[in-house]
Structure 1
Amino acid sequence: MALNIGGLVGLIVFYLITLATGIWASWKSKKEKRGDPTEMAIVAGRNMNFWVGLFTATATWVGGAYINGTAEIVYLPSRGLLWVQAPAGFALALLIGGLFFVNPMRSKNYLTMMDPIQEAYGNTMGSLLFIPSLIADVFWFAAILASLGATMKVILDIQGYLAIIISACTVILYTLLGGLYSVAYTDVIQLVFIMASLWICVPFAMTNFATESIFYTIGRNVFQPPWVGKIEVWDIGRWLDDFLYLVLGAIPWQTYFQRVLSASSAKQARFISYLSGMGCFILAIPSVLIGAVAASTDWNQTDYGLPTPNDRGESALILPLVLHYLCPTYISIGGLGAIAAAVMSSGDSALLSASSMFAHNIYRKILRKKATEKDVLWVMRVSMVAFGTLAGVLAFYSHSIYDLWLLGGELVYALLFPQLCCVLFIPNTNTYGSAAGFVFGLLLRLLAGEPSLKIPPFICYPGCSVVDGVYIQRFPFKMVTMLITLLTIISVSYLAAFAFKRNLLPHEWDISNDILSQYRWIGGCDLKPSLHLSVLWILRQRERNMQEETWLG
């Protein structure tokens, strides 16, 4: 196979257009000068155009791992269409986010998802809870970079590491220059390119001479099991667990809140959330069809030959393989552009998300409280380079696109989602409950093992079995871990409040000053902690005297 010069030139032109758009958006954001510089970089001055906001919200979720992973799952003989959960899961996640999470976040003009957590639980817990969010964003970026590298290797016959380096550098550069404005306007171009390119590829792949009709093979397939797939009884718990993880675990991401917080009104933010969910679902259809085509193809009649991609362990590359071997060259190049666009549209979001939270919530609120706006912006830019480099390095070592994509959000689901629910909807929770939930939830998740990393479980839930030497948890342990984390936060918070207020624990042990802080403001004066007991005693004594006077009267 020779280097595809035409495809390489076309891809370079696409990258240059994307970079030029990002630079133009950067210039536009500086010209408008609405709000402070940090607010402009993180939430675009809270004045994002509705249609631009809709496009960027949709493009954020439709990444390279999304379109590659969807085709892979449809194609796999052991999975099929019924196991493709991300499109419906993300659509429901964005619907729930718009219904319940947009208004509480916008009502207090937060900049990041970590703001309410730091406000309720303090900087220490904010720092700890930033870690799973950072890991998720970096893993997400790494997963989509890996998918692009594998795709370019198949279609253009260039080394995957070159694609990873070039793509990472391009994303870092335009995100660094313009913040959310650059990300949003480049997302518009990228999303249009994704929609056009993938839909153009589908009819060519479906009509290839080596492919049976997918409407025939949905029920009877001579090449492998029907691509619709099936869910065995013993897999129902695992299926539900993965689906709920996608629905609820897709909400507590800064990439999502960055979009809804940048809209000009709460009403627009809700509509952006609802419509972007529909967009995610619709944009998965071409990948589903391509996966079905792959499952309906006699690969021996193509230049790929036998054994099949599944037998060679190349199922993760099924989308670029279909584009390369079942479509004309000029069409496959368009499909490659769609994957590159999907990678950049999600990669820039992950990069901006991690750097925004680090600069605003860690650097400005913890490390240097007197930092200027200029300092915060520079820290954001430096962290973009650092996190982008780390994701690029991880992309070299990824072996399964889909596993890495799912793995990135599990800690967010188990640890961050319960914390966010508590700070927004259960105001009486406190730092002690938050810390207990974090530790207990993290411990439970680690002890459950991780099949993609071949880590055996220390806790074998009901239905746990060994398949091909790998432990599989069929019980919905992710959902259980999330619920236990949530219950731990609530129960420990109320127990701690009860123990301190009833003097079962010394007040000096209230190191976070959460429980007794409500008594600190008496008559507009901020009292010292040493006066808490005296003030409480005076208040109680007054209450008793008033009750006695009422009774005597």
Structure 2
Amino acid sequence: MAVNVPGLVAVLVFYVVILAIGIWAARKSKKVEKTCAGTKSEVTIVGGRNINVLVGVFTMTATWVGGGYIMGTAEAVYSPSQGLIWAMGPPAYLINFLLGGLFFAKPMRSKRYVTMLDPFQHRYGNMFTATLLLPALVSDILWVACILAALGGTMSIILGLSSALSIIISAAVSITYTFLGGLYSVAYTDIIQLCFIFVSLWLCIPFLILSPAVAEISHTVHLNQTIGNSWIGELKLADAGKWSDEMLLLALGGLAYQALYQRILSAASSAQAQVTCFAAAGTVFIMGIPSVVIGAVAASADWNQTAYGLPPPFERGEAGKILPLALHYLTPTWLSVLGIGSVAAAVMSSMDSVLLSSASMFTQNIYKATFRKQASERELQGVIRASVLLVGLAGTGLAFGDDSVFALWMVSGDLLYCVVFPQLICVLHLSSANSYGAITGYVVGLLLRGLSGEPLLGIPPVILYPGWREVDGVITQYFPFRTVAMLSSVICIISVSWLVKLGFCHQKIPQSWDLLGVFEEKKEAVGEEVPVPREEKNSILNTKF
């Protein structure tokens, strides 16, 4: 395929504009550092806690509206085995932000935490916090791979550009401005990127619907003319477990992303943080509508009337690229270039946030708290930048595959949903949770998720839940196994914490068995020594870092 030179020039101009805005925001960040009461690293991570509501809504929405969201949603609607009912992104993210505003924004922002891992560090100490960073880091790297793979596939179709080259250029731009400006660069570039995504995708919709190769989507609700299926989709009783599991994964797993709390913690107050979440719930849903329409249009198209020809994309194994294919073959060339710009904007708006979130957690909760407690601000800035670079390179390296964007999108949140989300609920809303319960819950959640297998990563299941199916030698679980792992983790944290506290406080367990130092002797008025939770005192474990 020949390179689309005008389109390539247009995309490069867009990249230069984004990079310029990122550099300008980096300079603004330097000015804020001089006037802000917080440290330089705090300005980089949470923007000095003075990001206003409007900017906060833009950057929060842009973070979730990534390549996985817009391409994964279109893929789900188009695929004959799924359909609209399986396009869970818009409703799941709506629920995610509403729950975030109701139950998580206030307890996190009111205590002036800097990262999502701070409450764990204050209650459980450094060692356990380091173990929580691992699933968060793996999830972020997979998310970067997902959104870059989405962009590579789009550019290769519309611009005729090498997928690998597209991935490298886009990653380089995102890494550069995130490296330079931290949250300020991320937030201000997100505004431009989100506006561009909104305008370009909605502009494509009339041209797609009016294309001569597309039947009216209202006529193909019940029958897809090219693949003999409905783009609405069907939810069979046998598939209900899998559907509910994936819906809960997206709706609740998103509450365990540092990228979410980075925006919550950057707000000027708890009330502003909540308003930002509620407003983002509406905007993120609206941003998913064009992808739904594009998927329905692609399912209603007669591909034999286009230059693409037959067989249709699904039969060629290209359902994951259906959004760029629809833009390329069903709209004018100039409009398809706008479409690629929207995907590029979506990718960078998510990638920069993911890079900064991983770098923030490692620097604040691992490097500063464990390795270099006396590290200077300049040193911490250097660690943040090095972390941004390393996470970006790791995610970029995994993006050179042909896996489904939708599948990568789902897997990226698996560990957070099964392992980190239960911990976050308990540390914020269960005062009795202690290290023994947290460790047990962590191990149980991780073990149950790992033993359930993962086809995308080639991990066979050891536990076969009811309703499992085997197709072409690959076993797929149709039972809500992720939710089982998550709930099991929550139950273990609560029950083990309660039993251990009961044992020590009533002296049923010898004090010498408190290997983690969670409990300590306290002299009562009657002179009796009774073990009490260490968090009830101003202990070393509860010292704020």
Q: Which residue of 1 aligns with 2:78?
A: 75
- Counterpart secondary structure, 1:215: coil
2:389 to 385, 389, 392: 385
Q: Which residue of 1 aligns with 2:360?
A: 356
Write out aligned runs for 1:17-416 (5 A). Answer: 17-33=17-33, 34=36, 35-224=38-227, 225-416=229-420
Q: Which amino acid aligns with 1:344?
A: M
Q: Which amino acid aligns with 2:10?
A: G
**Paired residues, what number?**
526
Higher mean C-alpha displacement, 506-515 vs 403-412: 506-515
Q: CA deviation at 1:536?
A: 5.8
- Counterpart secondary structure, 1:360: helix
Alpha-carbon distance in structure 2 between the residues aligned to 1:165 and 1:504: 60
- Counterpart secondary structure, 2:103: helix
Q: Which residue of 2 aligns with 1:13?
A: 13
CA deviation string 1:416-448 (max 9, x = no partner): 011011111101111111111111111100110
**Structure of larger gyration radius:** 1
Q: CA deviation at 1:509?
A: 2.3
Alpha-carbon distance in structure 2 between the residues aligned to 1:398 and 1:40: 38
- Counterpart secondary structure, 2:431: coil
Q: Which residue of 2 aligns with 1:530?
A: none
Higher mean C-alpha displacement, 364-373 vs 340-349: 364-373
Decide whether the 8 Å contact of 1:143 with 1:398 is kept in 2. no
Higher mean C-alpha displacement, 499-508 vs 482-491: 499-508
Q: Mark the CA change 1:306 to 1:485 in structure 2 (over 3 Å): closer, same or farther.
A: same
Q: CA deviation at 1:538?
A: 5.5
Alpha-carbon distance in structure 2 between the residues aligned to 1:288 and 1:231: 17
What is the TM-score normalised by the length of structure 2?
0.95
- Counterpart secondary structure, 1:318: helix
CA deviation string 1:298-340 (max 9, x = no partner): 1111101111111110000000000111111000000000000
Q: CA deviation at 1:86?
A: 1.1
- Counterpart secondary structure, 1:300: helix
Q: Which amino acid aligns with 2:497?
A: S
Q: Which amino acid aligns with 2:165?
A: L
Alpha-carbon distance in structure 2 between the residues aligned to 1:475 and 1:269: 36
4+ residue stretches of structure 1 with deviation over 4 A?
none
CA deviation string 1:126-167 (max 9, x = no partner): 000110111111110111011101110000111111111111
Q: Which residue of 2 aligns with 1:539?
A: 527
Decide whether the 8 Å contact of 2:32 with 2:43 is kept in 1. no
Percent of residue pairs bearing the same amino acid type: 50
Alpha-carbon distance in structure 1 between the residues aligned to 2:353 and 2:40: 18
Alpha-carbon distance in structure 1 between the residues aligned to 2:401 and 2:335: 30
Higher mean C-alpha displacement, 368-377 vs 419-428: 368-377
Q: Mark the CA change 1:541 to 1:63 in structure 2 (over 3 Å): closer, same or farther.
A: closer
Alpha-carbon distance in structure 2 between the residues aligned to 1:125 and 1:536: 31
Which runs of 5 or more structure 2 residues have no equivalent in the other structure?
531-545
Q: Which amino acid aligns with 2:58?
A: F
Residue 426 (structure 1) aligned with residue 430 (structure 2): yes
Q: Which amino acid aligns with 2:94?
A: A
Q: CA deviation at 1:399?
A: 1.5
Alpha-carbon distance in structure 1 between the residues aligned to 2:219 and 2:498: 59
Q: CA deviation at 1:541?
A: 8.4
Q: CA deviation at 1:457?
A: 1.2
Higher mean C-alpha displacement, 491-500 vs 83-92: 491-500
Q: CA deviation at 1:398?
A: 4.8
Q: Which residue of 2 aligns with 1:532?
A: none
Decide whether the 8 Å contact of 2:68 with 2:409 is kept in 1. yes
Q: Which amino acid aligns with 1:105?
A: M
Q: CA deviation at 1:11?
A: 0.4
Q: Which residue of 2 aligns with 1:2?
A: 2
Decide whether the 8 Å contact of 1:65 with 1:405 is kept in 2. yes
Decide whether the 8 Å contact of 2:225 with 2:302 is kept in 1. no
2:510 to 506, 509, 522: 506
Q: CA deviation at 1:221?
A: 2.8
- Counterpart secondary structure, 1:210: coil
Decide whether the 8 Å contact of 1:252 with 1:416 is kept in 2. yes
CA deviation string 1:174-230 (max 9, x = no partner): 001110000000000000000000011111111111111101101233222011010
Decide whether the 8 Å contact of 2:225 with 2:301 is kept in 1. no
Alpha-carbon distance in structure 1 between the residues aligned to 2:137 and 2:401: 19
Alpha-carbon distance in structure 2 between the residues aligned to 1:219 and 1:314: 23
Q: Which residue of 2 aligns with 1:546?
A: none
Q: Which residue of 1 aligns with 2:500?
A: 496
Decide whether the 8 Å contact of 1:398 with 1:404 is kept in 2. no
Alpha-carbon distance in structure 1 between the residues aligned to 2:30 and 2:430: 39
CA deviation string 1:454-508 (max 9, x = no partner): 4221111111121333212111111111000001111111222222233333322
Q: Which amino acid aligns with 1:39?
A: E
Decide whether the 8 Å contact of 1:125 with 1:435 is kept in 2. yes
Q: Which amino acid aligns with 2:30?
A: K
Alpha-carbon distance in structure 2 between the residues aligned to 1:3 and 1:249: 40
- Counterpart secondary structure, 2:475: strand
Residue 464 (structure 1) aligned with residue 452 (structure 2): no
Higher mean C-alpha displacement, 255-264 vs 490-499: 490-499
- Counterpart secondary structure, 1:197: helix
CA deviation string 1:67-112 (max 9, x = no partner): 0000000000111001111110011010000001111111110000
Decide whether the 8 Å contact of 2:246 with 2:410 is kept in 1. no
Considering only aligned residues, what root-mean-square deviation do their CA atoms show, in Å?
1.4
What is the TM-score normalised by the length of structure 1?
0.93
Alpha-carbon distance in structure 2 between the residues aligned to 1:362 and 1:70: 36
Alpha-carbon distance in structure 2 between the residues aligned to 1:513 and 1:539: 22
Q: Which amino acid aligns with 2:269?
A: S
Decide whether the 8 Å contact of 2:327 with 2:336 is kept in 1. yes
CA deviation string 1:273-314 (max 9, x = no partner): 011111111011110000001101111111011111111100
Alpha-carbon distance in structure 1 between the residues aligned to 2:217 and 2:420: 41
Q: Mark the CA change 1:398 to 1:415 in structure 2 (over 3 Å): closer, same or farther.
A: farther
Higher mean C-alpha displacement, 366-375 vs 230-239: 366-375
Q: CA deviation at 1:415?
A: 0.5
